[in-house]
A and B are shown apart, each in its own frame.
Chain A
Amino acid sequence: MPVPVSQMWTVASYVIKQKMKKRKHFPVVLMLEPLMRCNLACAGCGKIQYPAHVLKKNLTPEQCFQAAEECGTPMVSIPGGEPLLHPQIVEIVEGLLERKKYVYLCTNGLLLKEKLHLFTPSKYLSFVVHMDGQREHHDFSVCLEGTYDKAVAAIQEALQRGFRVTTNTTLFEGADPTSVRQFFDEMMDLGVEGLMLSPGYTYDKAPDQQHFLSKSKTRDLFRKILSNRRDSWKFNMSPLFLEYLMGRREYNCTPWGMPTYNIFGWQKPCYLLQDGYADTFAELIAETNWDEYGTESGNPKCANCMVHSGYEPSAVSHTFGSLSGFLATARATLFTRYKDPTVGSGPTPSRTSGPLVQITSSQA
């Protein structure tokens, strides 16, 4: 099991408690963005396109703790921007750990190695290193050569120091399933605890608007990647969410499942869309018209979204909300192969060091 039993128990008991209280709009993970600034400039990112005065702003540790207490989730994910650029990130992380939150500190890895000594290993703290694929794919995706090697060196150092480390991979149009599978092998060989995956999302504010995956392409891609799995692969995700990505089950969106707090306030309605901001979590829940969001709503902005922030909470809720969900999760945990003769599962070809793969759309 890649995730500690104590974490699974904490999440399970939290979700079951919310269900028993018949609370409909309960969050599972707080997405805490303490700053928008980043030391990368990826074309597909919709999080960093702001004027300089906005990028210079930081949430204070007190604002971060207040947000964590307001929404009450057992897990806090800290994306950004690049959180390690925040001058008080250590204080923020330590404060959340003191509150017994399971913290996922997301990073592109560029500063991780030099800042590791500031943190203390804990079962409550995981570094989530953004890795979009093998070296060439990753460097091309994040628009900076050399990033992969720096991130791998940071992962190795973090593991050596006893930290929990997972990787987080966003897949865009043109991703090569064979290469992604090789990448999984590479990461597991490094010794990471588990892998996280998500299809890219068409952020309104992203400079690139052409390389995000449609829903049918997402399912096809993830079926190719996740069928005929190797035993060595561990995923730090809901197994039912992975089945959803493969097109094996359907879920409605739970946009309130991973609420986002940043320098503007509580983002409406979810981590991806920006339809405005609420000043409090209670206001976010009470004043957002949730029927307007999710694939099932007919909202064109949600039409192709299969992203973890909306659909993984649905899978988690399914797991702990019904016997069938629990049994499906148990089955998906025990039987991970997902044999599919229509998908190639041959031996992993040796790594190549050829030129970068140019991701192109059919219009390009």
Chain B
Amino acid sequence: MVTSDSAAHPGNPDEPALGTVHENLEGWVPAMATEEEIRGAFDKAFDYRGDLTLTLKDGRSIEGYIFDRRAKSESLDECVVRIMPKNDGAVRMTIRYSEIAGLAFSGRDTAAGKSFEAWVKKYNAKKAAGEKNIGIEPEPLD
């Protein structure tokens, strides 16, 4: 796994970094044996642009989008993630790190493969084929 470092600005070594190099985390099941691994995994989970599956120590499994994490405390028991479950739209759950046994990047990374370069490539190919009204349509939600 690559770390989520900032990208260098093209052609401007003196400028502060621009952009973020996104890792391919889809399908990843991080090791969570040490505190460092646990904190690192939840940091990545917070930045991930898809759903994750949490397996709790009591055996429950929760799939959803992690939209917040509060991890400044030195005690893992005081650190939490906040998740919007996939199957319960009205609920926002708060779960302590210490209650979580496992984490899986189970959902699709919703931004992967959608770079501007990918659009340019698609546009040029369709234009060369003589197509009109070229564009990227939003993905269906169902």
Contacts and interface: CB of A to CB of B under 8 A. Distances in A.
Contacts of B17: 300, 303
A258 B91 CA distance: 27
Contacts of B70: 276
A250 to B, nearest CB: 16
Given A51-B50, A208-B116, A303-B17, A276 B137 contact: no
A41 B136 contact: yes
A276 B69 contact: yes
Contact of B116 (A44, A215, A276): A44
A49 B89 contact: no
Contacts of A146: 133, 135
Interface of B is mostly: loop
Interface size on A, as a range, is: 35 or more
Interface string A341-364: 000000000000000101101111
A214 B12 contact: yes
Contact of B120 (A264, A276, A277, A358): A358
Contact of A212 (B18, B64, B82, B142): B18
Contact of A145 (B16, B22, B49, B133): B133
Interface in A213-264: 214-217, 263-264
Contacts of A206: 111
B133 A53 contact: no
B20 A52 contact: no
Contacts of A263: 84
Contacts of A356: 123
Nearest to B19: A209
Interface string A269-283: 000000011000000
Contacts of B139: 41, 52
Interface in A169-213: 202, 204-212
Given A49-B49, A53-B65, A43 B18 contact: no
Contact of A304 (B16, B82, B117): B16
A364 B6 CA distance: 18
Contacts of B107: 51
A57 B65 CA distance: 12
Contact of B135 (A144, A214, A359): A144
A53 B89 contact: yes
Contact of A264 (B68, B86, B118): B68
A50 interface: yes
A12 interface: no
Contacts of B9: 214, 304
A190 B111 CA distance: 36
Interface in B44-89: 46-47, 49-51, 64-65, 67-70, 82, 84, 86-87, 89
A41 B49 CA distance: 15
A207 B115 contact: yes
B110 interface: yes
A44 B21 CA distance: 14
A286 interface: no
B141 interface: yes
A216 B9 CA distance: 12
A364 B117 CA distance: 8
B118 A43 contact: yes
A39 interface: yes
Contacts of B113: 207
Interface of B: 6-7, 9-12, 15-22, 46-47, 49-51, 64-65, 67-70, 82, 84, 86-87, 89, 92, 107-108, 110-120, 123, 132-139, 141-142
28 contacts: A40-B138, A41-B138, A43-B118, A50-B65, A51-B50, A51-B51, A53-B65, A53-B86, A56-B89, A57-B84, A144-B136, A145-B132, A206-B111, A208-B114, A209-B7, A209-B18, A209-B21, A210-B7, A210-B18, A210-B117, A214-B15, A215-B15, A215-B16, A216-B12, A217-B12, A277-B68, A300-B17, A303-B16
Interface of A: 37-41, 43-44, 48-57, 139-140, 143-147, 202, 204-212, 214-217, 263-265, 276-277, 300, 303-304, 356, 358-359, 361-364
